[in-house]
Structure 1
Amino acid sequence: MLLVTPLYAGLLALWFFALSLRVVQRRGHGVSLGDGGDTELLRRIRGHGNFAEYVPLILLMMAFLELGKFSTLLLHGLGLTLLLARVLHGLALSFTGGWKFGRFYGTLLTFLLLLVTGGLCVYQGLSGLRLQ
């Protein structure tokens, strides 16, 4: 049974909802579809889209690791790092005009998580091959 991954999936879903609200507020910018050339709206859309591009894959890999009985402490570390990364990045793109710290470190942590979770999943998969 998964216990750790659903916690972070739920917390990230709440943050995704906040990012989604920022995108649907486009009518205040006189735009009904797309960004209408508005740079602030474009940042909001990319903050939302960027989340949707990275978070599902990392959560899926976390679930695989959890099902593979990886350390609960490791899984919480991955989940907290993912939450921090996506909040930093989302704040930078969707809520500010150019908070470079949040965008840089949010991206850096997300890429690091892709490498770590990807590598651990490969390790788990190769370990399973040796057992057979």
Structure 2
Amino acid sequence: MPEATSAHAAALWVGLHLLLLLTLSVLVVRQRQAHRVALGDGGVPSLTHAVRAFGNATEYVPAGLAALTLMAVLDVQPLVVHISGLALFLGRVVHAVGLSRSGAATLPRAAGMVLTWVAYVFIGVALLVYAIA
């Protein structure tokens, strides 16, 4: 078996994030079908939460995936890519769970956002260090 590379690491995390986005999308569709809402949220709180969980993920995940892909292109150490991908993924999952359950400020939502921001800072610093070194 060949040694894992940064491209392998990035592929793992990009794949998992895409599956997360698909899952969140399916949850929106299920809510729409259950409440017979074709467009918008129909004023249904559970649908509003599902739409926002998906929407928020689509606001944060693409930039993270672009950064992970760039890390792979630059051949950043696989461990750095894994740490970055894991932090972003956990942040997005925890945030989505919190937002899906409540529109209020909750610990999972806050923890998910903080973890997402930590991932962004870690990835940003790693890319800057790579660019300058």
Given the two structures, how large is their TM-score scaled by the length of structure 1?
Answer: 0.84
What residue ranges of structure 2 are gaps of 5+ in the alignment? none
In structure 2, how many angstroms separate the alpha carbons of the residues matched to 1:22 and 1:111? Answer: 25
Deviation at 1:117, TM superposition (A): 1.3
1:118 counterpart residue number: 124
Residues 87 and 118 in structure 2, CA contact (< 8 A), matched pair in contact too: no
Deviation at 1:120, TM superposition (A): 2.2
Deviation at 1:59, TM superposition (A): 1.4
1:105 counterpart residue number: 111
In structure 2, how many angstroms separate the alpha carbons of the residues matched to 1:35 and 1:113? Answer: 31
In structure 2, how many angstroms separate the alpha carbons of the residues matched to 1:80 and 1:38? Answer: 32
In structure 1, how many angstroms separate the alpha carbons of the residues matched to 2:71 and 2:107? Answer: 30
In structure 1, how many angstroms separate the alpha carbons of the residues matched to 2:131 and 2:96? Answer: 32
Spell out, residue by residue over 1:98-129, the C-alpha distance to the aligned partner (whole angstroms, 9 max, x if none): 682211111101111112212222333334xx
Aligned residues: 126
1:3 counterpart residue number: 8
The one-letter code matched in structure 2 to 1:7 is L
2:94 counterpart residue number: 88
Is the counterpart of residue 54 in structure 1 residue 60 in structure 2? yes
Residues 21 and 57 in structure 2, CA contact (< 8 A), matched pair in contact too: yes
In structure 2, how many angstroms separate the alpha carbons of the residues matched to 1:77 and 1:126? Answer: 21
% identity of equivalent residues: 33
The one-letter code matched in structure 2 to 1:6 is A
Give the CA RMSD over aligned residues.
1.8
What residue ranges of structure 1 are gaps of 5+ in the alignment? 128-132
In structure 2, how many angstroms separate the alpha carbons of the residues matched to 1:115 and 1:90? Answer: 20
In structure 1, how many angstroms separate the alpha carbons of the residues matched to 2:91 and 2:70? Answer: 20
1:12 counterpart residue number: 17
In structure 2, how many angstroms separate the alpha carbons of the residues matched to 1:83 and 1:114? Answer: 11
In structure 1, how many angstroms separate the alpha carbons of the residues matched to 2:57 and 2:27? Answer: 13
2:78 to 72, 78, 92: 72
